Structure 1
Amino acid sequence: MNFKHAVLSLMLVIGSVFSAFAQTTGSVRLTVVDDKTGETLIGATVMIEGTSKGTITDFDGIATLNNINAGTYNVRVSYISYQTTVISDVKVEAGKAEELTVHLKPADLEINEVVITAKAAKNSENALLTLQRKSPKLFDAITADQFSRIGVSDAAGALKKVTGVTITSGKYVFVRGLGDRYSKSVLNGSDVPSLDPNKNSVQLDLFPTNLIDNIIVYKTFTPDLPGDFTGGLVDITTKDFPTSFNLTFSAGLEYNPQANFNSDFLAPKGSSTDFLGYDNGFRALPKEIAQYSASDFPDPYLNKSEITSVSRAFKNRQFNPGKASQFLNHSFSFSVGDQVKLFGKPLGYIFGLSYNRKYSNYTDGVQNSYEGISEGQTTLNRDIHMATTEHKSDDEVLLGAMFNTSYKFNNNNKIGLSLMTNQSGTNDARYQDGYLLDANPDSTTHLQNRAITYTQRAFRNGQLRGEHVFPHLNNLNVKWSNSFTISSIKQPDTRMIRNQYTINQQGDTLYYMGNLDRPSRFYRDLKEINNSSKLDFTLPAKLFGGRDSKIKFGGLYTYKNREFRENIYQYNIQSNKNFDGDISVFFQDQNLGYVDGTLKNYLMMINIDGNNFDAYQRLFAGYAMIESPIAKKLNLTAGVRMEKTDMELRAFNDSTGTIKTNDLLPSIALTYNINDKTNIRASANRTLARPSFREFAPLATYDFFGGYIQNGNPDLKRTLVNNFDLRWEKYPSPGEYLSASLFYKKFFNPIENAQLPRAGGSTSQFQFKNVDKSTLYGAEIEIRKNLGSFTEALKNFRVSANYTYVYSYVNVTPEELVAIRAWNPGASDTRPMYDQAPYTFNASLSYDNPEKGWESTLSYNVSGKRLIVYQIDLPSIYLQPMPEMNFTLKKNLSKRCSLMFKAKNILDNTYKEQITLGDNVYYTTKYQQGRTYAISFSYNLSK
């Protein structure tokens, strides 16, 4: 509490200091753009009539006029070959910056002057819709003002509202139903690595919305974008610095009855720094054990003192998570920014901090696996070693910080630096209780599973960038950037234990632990370094009959290096196999190592060389393209990108995988402007998808709870995809939008995760592999409408909705078809693509009354069932739809303060992984997440 009080006091002091230095003058900041193309104009003249104040726009199209006495003025904007525009009634207030966007119309034969009333461009959603209308690229977006309206705290939550986008596991993006392999995420245009060893795309819950300006989802490829996306490219843009001093603070509390103040919450012991998202060494491997490798680990019969020492080395011997009531979910965010003068030139900066701690819990979960079936079988039998009920608790912390700065040497040159760090820690505890060997619920042989996992994720990114305009070279624009990222994921001391118990006729419970599944401790460590350098040139030119055009060219170099290490330690159970139910008895000193000359339970090191690997990927890319009108209303974007891939993985068992390819990725897109508000877009291009290092690695990992083995495949090839898109779009008025799209994709060598044949009761195994071809096609529709156009009574209401339909199929291989038709003779020879959702639907109804200070949004989203486990000796497993409805209500208490209430997951949806056989439904995983109620307060101090 002292720390929190100190932070609050510091904020109040800062606010008081800046308030004390209130100015008597204000400023005006204009962004000047071409009304036809939406491009910013360099060198436009801006004058305040009746004064000597004037300047020209820089290469961002921005002109800033400072030290203007408070009052109302007319501002004149002029530029050669454009109509001069006068903005009337621009109100300048002391200590404030008035921000305007001015659209200049190209001059016809006669130069005219246009007079308009000043209107500040404060609605960033409208600004992005304008950019979307003018852009040669096909994209959808969500902006910072929408984050607040819908009440989301991270990028993953925000993207749920974007057309055709689905978020899985609370962090992974799916675009147009395609899984993470076919989606890509970048930060400020630069590559960022995934922090999940099993995924390609970055975990989007790592990016708090208070640090984000907007998120753009590109649906089609153009040569100036990375070539390794097919569903969509998610570009997260961090906040830019403000034009004047701005300080914001917010704090929030959330309550979920399943998790908060619940005495049944599983809470294993942790370190004193867990609340900051990292372990301080509490879970570290003891030095007595760390000195040994698997080859020289003490022999239990030859090294008696050593085996006793290592067996007793762990100080934390908790395998059974305790229970403790947890506080409310809580979050804090703070940011401060300003624009100042350094050597007479503008220097802008923004610094932001965010903290979020969230608890989740369920006690009624279901976890099952099933045996393979034969022809004519109408019911399933549960597999051995699989529990049926689950209790799971999570304690998740996310701490983020960002610093952005930019310095303009003059109107033609600027450089910028962005630094971001995110730290995340998740304490996960599970307890399962079920039946062993017998599918009969009346069986007296029971199974108990317990697991304690701590996952620590770290993300450190630095970006240095520059932009330069060369007027003597026809305003050649040069942009460059270098992004360096260090990321890591650690799982120190994951503990798993399994035991059996029976209940005899007298009602006594008899416990037993054997060596079929020994108590285990896992140490996993993934480190990745990612360095990405970009250089882009844009040269204005006259093409196709002297029309204003652009020639673009540039290159990219990316280097990734990943190290993955896994050490496994298991206890060989020699004594106390029959116990009284207290599993801690196995790990007491008197039962570890040698006691009175007798070997008791002892520690072993299991080393699987194939599960440890080093990998790298080098990518060289170059591109050339044009953007040009080729007729009065027809615009062309065309070019080609070349990507050279050098990818190699080497496991410690000397197994290797290599991909070396040179790929040409052509692209052509046409935009037909029916009028100023309506476009028709068509595009065709080729993209690719590379396997992740995990898919590429020769790992064979056992899922303790799923009861199956997942295999990698070093022989994987990259996937090539041909893409075709057609979209009609209309922008009836500011903030309104209508669109309808069709798309078609053909995949060559797509990567699928499929079951391998198994014999008898052996453990089910899966492996990533290439299949010959697959096909996907679908349609999208979207509407955003202000209801005030129907009646004045609804002027503060707006509705938005989007729907995406996707159909995909893969040809089943002959070997798989034989195995499937052994129990299902009528099985189809095609199936859906792995991890592909057949539809997504989003809708929201919003109310905004700025006069009364009220804002409210009711939102709903859902996606169709998707194939998540493809099986050949059983019906496949599908993740079922999970409709989600949320409500937010915001009240602006003053110009600086606001209060917000949220109700999340109002429908209390159920997570269900399901097998269907005839009329029978079987769940492999099932649980409810619970409803959450939240309240937050925000404060804004700005000049």
Structure 2
Amino acid sequence: MQNCLLNRHKLFIAISAASLSVLAQPGFAQEADEQPSIPMPAIEAPVLEEMLVTGRQQSGAQTIVQERMEDAFAADLMGSDQISRTGDSNVAVALTRVTGVTLNQGKYVYVRGLGERYSSVQLNGAQVPSPELTRNVLPLDIIPASIVDSLKIQKSYSPDLPAHFGGGNVNIRTKSVPDEFIFNITLGTGTNTNSGDGDITYSGGGKTSGLPKAIDQALDTYQGYLDINGIRRILSTEVDNSVTPEQAQESIAINRSLMLSLNRDVAIREDDSPLDQNGSVALGNSWDIGDDWTVGSILNWSEKTEWRNKNQIRQGVGSPDVTYSSTKRTQEDTKELGSIGVGIDYQDMHNIEASYMLIGNETDEAAITFAQNSNNNLADGNQKVTYETRYQDREVEITQALGTHKFDQLSGNTLGDISVDWFYSDSTVETNIPGATTIGGDNTVDPQTGEVLSTRITSNSSAQFAFLNLQDDVISHGWNAKLPLLFDNAEVTLSGGYSYNDKSRQYFGYTALIDVGGGNFLEGMPGDVFTDSNINNLNNDFELTMSRGFGTESYIAGQMTDAFYGMIDATLSDTWRITAGARYEDFRTALLPLDLLDYTGITLENLIKELQNENQTYTRRSDDVYPSAALTYINDGFMNSETFQLRLSYAQTVVRPDLREMADVVYIDPELNIRVRGNPNLRDSMLDNIDLRGEWYFDGGNNLTVSLFYKDITDPIEQKLEPGSDSDIIMSFENALSGELYGVEFEGLWNLDYGFFVSGNLTLSDSEVVSPTNGGYTNSVRTMSGQSPYVLNAQLGYDSDDGKHGAALSYNIAGEKLTLAAVDTGHDDAFEQPFSSLDFTYSYYPIEQLILKAKLRNLLDEDREITQTNVQGQDVTILRQEVGTSISLDISYNF
């Protein structure tokens, strides 16, 4: 494979370099709203972000409130103290406490009902890549809450943010170098009510070596064909490709030896899962060097392992009584983090910090699916069975440097202190699936009891062994500068900046197949059939092949963005604040699908020549200006408030399709286990955003916020359900004609007597998306994917007077939301049903240094459900997945 790897490396260099030269050609650059269609070749609930409460949370909450009030654009914030109060273990769950935010699949944030593609995520102001095989957005469940200083969710656009903006921008700000010595140790354990009942695992669970070296080398030797005939063609010395009897036997022997190199130790068995376990350590300090200098450092380590049963029940929407399945699915999930940060400060005017962070996430999963259909009916004693194993290793490596600098006024009283901040971020993610297996079989069952009497691996089919690898590299850097101008009745700040983002991606996949014929050797489960002795027996019908269809999709891609912005912020007589600016972005992307089994010899020269063709279909570019403006009215004392602010803002933004959505390949969504097909003809979505927010801040930290929002979207990207059988669901993407989203948000906090307080937020919204009438949709006019008509968060909190006890009862629910738009089936669209989450956290502080915390999640024991109405008007639950109630106990000691 060395030559193939070298060729792929050259291809990547060529596509990155050639895209720049091609895109620079006259006439190629187009306005974003004039881009042509470009073909490509063959389911937790709430603390309010401005919470101001008494006791140990007060100082941190005051800082958050102050920042929110001073922001010219509508934003919600959460501090580390608020996250700790509700016991949220990661960023994804913490964000569900924010107004209008819902969580999809436990990791992807939906802001104001817009899917994850409409939201952007930054880490300390820098863009970072995603380890997800199916999405470009960062899964927020891998960021532990222990390293978070604050979360800023900006819902109205400002020019200093990336123009890729729809629902909002999430900026995760990690803890910086401490002002004093800290040393914290936390240990914990827990379980889930679904664990311990039918847990399963497999014999070879854990890390594997990936694609065997023997197969890797054989692909080069036999030019991508490992079947017996393919090997014979290479061994043949004759013009007509005929082989001698010795060569025929040799080709069979080579094929069997390659088959033996695969890890076939995938026998699934029942096994009790242990208790969850987690631990973390934080160590930091700072030291004064003379009167002017301060240096410091901080170390963080954490690890958490959970075992969960994610059992599923599926029904075919067309004939649910005939086509249905149940899946026993157990997953071991380990998340690890190690980070180090160092910083230096000079006179509180100049600060530079550097950090390194390594995040790991390993999942190991076993699943058995029992299925019925028209050909395998339980009444006849027949049942289909599928055995699946999957190990996935994800790693995110981030190196960042951040700086802030203030300069005293240079002259006179008009010019204020100039400030400059900058960042540099170099991050890499790699996701590796060194072995995922799928093996089908036939069960003979007792029609009365459903007991499995015997199992036989399905003849005339294949056992699949998948090997996937994704690597993203992102370099981003930028700076911002502010120049304050002070007048008698006005304060004016001029600001501007630049940012650059360079992303490269490599996605490679192979699928090896063991084809089996008929014979008594197929009796039993996978561990009984795919043994060395069975494979070495040449009387048994086995043959190794490489899939040349589904499962072989690969591609390389690159994206580059240059951006400049300028902004003016003026406050007049402490009553009116006017903020306006614009951002210019030059966005380039290039994507090349690959066939790793194609050894016909694509040359670097031929590729560059094709890329330079004016009709080439591999690259695209958009450059445009994105304006934004906000008007704020300030009136202290309005309606008996200490501070009242009314903000009105407008902005134009863009949402670009993910690389995976544009790739002309088919892949598997690992959470729902359904096929997904990319669409290379997707266009950018253009948005007009309008926000109006009123904020009242009262004595004692009580507050109230009411917000109105409206978004008009041109060419929104929507998920669609393509035609297929009940057992073969395929999802894809398509640009609708138009879409709009509008709604109102309410949020507030009120302190009660005896240490109690109540807080909550409610979002009411509606949406409409219009698809082409000739698109075959069941409903060409419908709600937008992921948009819930209501989202409710509520919390009852308690802090004892002596500061030793704290508790929070939290409730979260999101209304029914569209999951998949049906196409050409006659059935209605598929909807995810409301999920009610009731959580409880109790904290006990026996001494100042010691914290005992108990957490209960999903006390109502809700399941995740997706339903669809069929042609007969019958509501069918096409997917139900168990969630269970989680229980955890943590103990922390601060030295």
Higher relative contact order (Cα pairs below 8 Å, separated by 6+ residues): 2
CA contact (8 A) 1:407 1:414 kept: yes
CA contact (8 A) 1:786 1:795 kept: no
Q: Structure 1: how far apart are the matches of 2:314 and 2:654? A: 36
Change over 3 Å in CA distance of 1:231–1:439 after alignment to 2: farther
Which residue is 2:736 aligned to?
Answer: 771
Q: Which moved more, 1:871-880 or 1:607-616?
A: 607-616
Q: Which deviations, in whole Å up to 9, do the C-alpha atoms of 1:3-57 show, x marking residues without a partner? A: xxxxxxxxxxxxxxxxxxxxxxxxxxxxxxxxxxxxxxxxxxxxxxxxxxxxxxx
Q: Structure 2: how far apart are the matches of 1:129 and 1:504? A: 65
Structure 1: give runs of 5+ residues left out of the alignment. Answer: 1-118, 372-378, 788-793, 821-827
SS at match of 2:133: coil
Which residue is 2:467 aligned to?
Answer: 523
Q: Structure 2: how far apart are the matches of 1:141 and 1:342? A: 34
* 1:205 to 2:160 alignment: no
SS at match of 2:270: coil
Change over 3 Å in CA distance of 1:693–1:120 after alignment to 2: closer
- 1:895 corresponds, among 832, 843, 848, to 848
Matches within 5 A, 1:722-737: 722-737=688-703
Q: Which deviations, in whole Å up to 9, do the C-alpha atoms of 1:609-661 show, x marking residues without a partner? A: 97111001000100000111145411011000011110110111599543300
* 1:347 to 2:295 alignment: yes
Matches within 5 A, 1:260-299: 262=196, 264-270=198-204, 279=207, 282-293=208-219, 295-299=223-227
Deviation at 1:220, TM superposition (A): 0.6
- 2:682 corresponds, among 690, 712, 716, to 716
Q: Which deviations, in whole Å up to 9, do the C-alpha atoms of 1:357-391 show, x marking residues without a partner? A: 1111155x3123344xxxxxxx65655xxx51111
Q: Which deviations, in whole Å up to 9, do the C-alpha atoms of 1:299-330 show, x marking residues without a partner? A: 3253122101101112x313332222122111
- 2:432 corresponds, among 490, 497, 505, to 490
Which residue is 1:856 aligned to?
Answer: 807
Which residue is 1:815 aligned to?
Answer: 774
Structure 2 counterpart of 1:807, one-letter code: D
Matches within 5 A, 1:583-602: 583-592=526-535, 595-596=537-538, 598=539, 600-602=541-543
Matches within 5 A, 1:789-804: 794-804=753-763
- 1:604 corresponds, among 545, 550, 568, to 545
* 1:552 to 2:478 alignment: no
Matches within 5 A, 1:367-386: 367-371=314-318, 382=322
Structure 1 counterpart of 2:624, one-letter code: D
CA contact (8 A) 1:514 1:577 kept: no
Q: Structure 1: how far apart are the matches of 2:726 and 2:170? A: 44
Q: Which deviations, in whole Å up to 9, do the C-alpha atoms of 1:487-532 show, x marking residues without a partner? A: 1111111011111234589999454444665210101100000111
Which residue is 1:930 aligned to?
Answer: 884
SS at match of 1:431: strand
Q: Structure 2: how far apart are the matches of 1:629 and 1:505? A: 78
Change over 3 Å in CA distance of 1:924–1:762 after alignment to 2: closer
Structure 2 counterpart of 1:619, one-letter code: T
Q: Structure 2: how far apart are the matches of 1:516 and 1:177? A: 46
Deviation at 1:197, TM superposition (A): 2.5
Structure 2 counterpart of 1:524, one-letter code: L
* 1:660 to 2:621 alignment: yes
- 2:648 corresponds, among 674, 678, 682, to 682
Matches within 5 A, 1:392-431: 392-431=329-368
SS at match of 2:146: helix
Q: Structure 1: how far apart are the matches of 2:515 and 2:425? A: 48
Structure 2: give runs of 5+ residues left out of the alignment. Answer: 1-54, 233-250, 596-606, 608-615, 637-641
Which residue is 1:116 aligned to?
Answer: none
TM-score, normalised relative to structure 1:
0.79
Change over 3 Å in CA distance of 1:443–1:867 after alignment to 2: farther
Which residue is 2:894 aligned to?
Answer: 940
- 1:177 corresponds, among 89, 93, 113, to 113
Q: Structure 2: how far apart are the matches of 1:120 and 1:902? A: 19
Which residue is 1:309 aligned to?
Answer: 257
Cα RMSD between the aligned structures? 2.6
Q: Structure 2: how far apart are the matches of 1:519 and 1:170? A: 31
- 2:510 corresponds, among 567, 575, 582, to 567
Q: Which deviations, in whole Å up to 9, do the C-alpha atoms of 1:892-940 show, x marking residues without a partner? A: 0101112111221100011111113466321121132221222111101
CA contact (8 A) 2:515 2:544 kept: yes
Q: Structure 2: how far apart are the matches of 1:508 and 1:886? A: 39
- 1:836 corresponds, among 766, 787, 792, to 787
Structure 1 counterpart of 2:627, one-letter code: P
* 1:461 to 2:461 alignment: no
Change over 3 Å in CA distance of 1:493–1:894 after alignment to 2: same
Change over 3 Å in CA distance of 1:207–1:296 after alignment to 2: closer
Deviation at 1:578, TM superposition (A): 7.2
Which residue is 2:18 aligned to?
Answer: none
Change over 3 Å in CA distance of 1:487–1:169 after alignment to 2: same
Q: Which deviations, in whole Å up to 9, do the C-alpha atoms of 1:248-291 show, x marking residues without a partner? A: 111111122321xx2621122456xx5xxxx3xx3422211121
* 1:613 to 2:613 alignment: no
Which residue is 1:318 aligned to?
Answer: 265
- 1:783 corresponds, among 728, 731, 748, to 748
Q: Which deviations, in whole Å up to 9, do the C-alpha atoms of 1:366-425 show, x marking residues without a partner? A: 123344xxxxxxx65655xxx511111111000112222220234432211122111110
CA contact (8 A) 1:435 1:443 kept: no
Q: Structure 1: how far apart are the matches of 2:302 and 2:521? A: 50
* 1:920 to 2:878 alignment: no
* 1:190 to 2:156 alignment: no
Which residue is 1:357 aligned to?
Answer: 305
Deviation at 1:733, TM superposition (A): 2.7
Change over 3 Å in CA distance of 1:554–1:610 after alignment to 2: farther
Q: Which moved more, 1:714-723 or 1:609-618?
A: 609-618
Larger Rg over CA atoms: 1
Deviation at 1:295, TM superposition (A): 3.2
- 2:98 corresponds, among 151, 162, 166, to 162
Change over 3 Å in CA distance of 1:757–1:921 after alignment to 2: closer
CA contact (8 A) 1:650 1:656 kept: no
Q: Which moved more, 1:262-271 or 1:522-531?
A: 262-271
More helix by share: 2
* 1:875 to 2:828 alignment: yes
Runs of 4+ in 1 over 6 A off after TM superposition: 504-508, 703-707
Structure 2 counterpart of 1:417, one-letter code: A
SS at match of 1:334: strand
* 1:537 to 2:481 alignment: yes
SS at match of 1:652: strand
SS at match of 2:114: coil
Q: Which deviations, in whole Å up to 9, do the C-alpha atoms of 1:754-811 show, x marking residues without a partner? A: 23456x8995543212122111111100011101xxxxxx230111110111211111
Q: Structure 2: how far apart are the matches of 1:816 and 1:757? A: 12
Structure 1 counterpart of 2:621, one-letter code: K
* 1:239 to 2:175 alignment: yes
Q: Structure 2: how far apart are the matches of 1:248 and 1:560? A: 36
CA contact (8 A) 1:806 1:837 kept: yes
Structure 1 counterpart of 2:258, one-letter code: V
* 1:699 to 2:649 alignment: no
- 1:747 corresponds, among 713, 729, 732, to 713
SS at match of 1:446: strand
SS at match of 2:201: coil
CA contact (8 A) 1:178 1:837 kept: no
Q: Structure 2: how far apart are the matches of 1:241 and 1:505? A: 66
Change over 3 Å in CA distance of 1:503–1:460 after alignment to 2: closer
Q: Structure 2: how far apart are the matches of 1:382 and 1:370? A: 10
Q: Structure 1: how far apart are the matches of 2:586 and 2:331? A: 42
Q: Percent identity?
A: 26
